[in-house]
Amino acid sequence: MRLPSLPHPHLIVLRSAATVVLSCLVGQAGWAAAFLGDDPRYRAVHEVGAWVTLVVCVVAAVTYLALRRSAGPVNVVLALVVAVLAAVQFSLGMLGVTAPHIFLGVLLAMAGTALTSWTYRHELPPPRPSA
């Protein structure tokens, strides 16, 4: 019995980045739910998580840009959308604009899920012919 081969290293990096992004987004939703459930102690955790999530989303977008040929245009656009939404989300949270912050948080989680799903289904393009 043969073990399956590993995917290309670029795919491993992209899939790992998408997984970490989605994990941060889900974690942020959990911390938000905890402090909105009348336990204000979790607000500080949500605020620290916001910094972590923003940095992770920006680093992931840079990773997708650096590996854009391997990532493909859909994944690169999704990674950039997630990073921009995370920055807007962060700003809304800092300004205390709660309703749009929550609404955008749902959209951000959906975009992060789409990025992860598309990344895991993505296959590398065929190699370029040598000249």
> pLDDT of 38-60, one tens digit each?
888 888 999 999 999 999 999 99
User: Model-level pTM greater than 0.85?
Assistant: yes
Sequential DSSP letters for 66-88: HTHHHH-HHHHHHHHHHHHHHHH
At a CB cut-off of 8 Å and minimum separation 6, what does 19 contact?
A: 116
Tell me if 59 is assigned to some domain: yes
Length of the chain: 131
Given pLDDT bands bounded at 50, 70 and 90, which one contains residue 37?
confident
- 126 has a pLDDT exceeding 80: no
Tell me if 64 is assigned to some domain: yes
Tell me if 131 is assigned to some domain: no
Distance, in Å, from the CA atom of 101 to the CA atom of 98, rounded to the nearest integer, reads: 5
Please tell me the total count of domains within the chain.
Answer: 1
Tell me if 85 is assigned to some domain: yes
Tell me if 110 is assigned to some domain: yes
Residue ranges making up the domain that contains 102: 9-121
Tell me if 3 is assigned to some domain: no
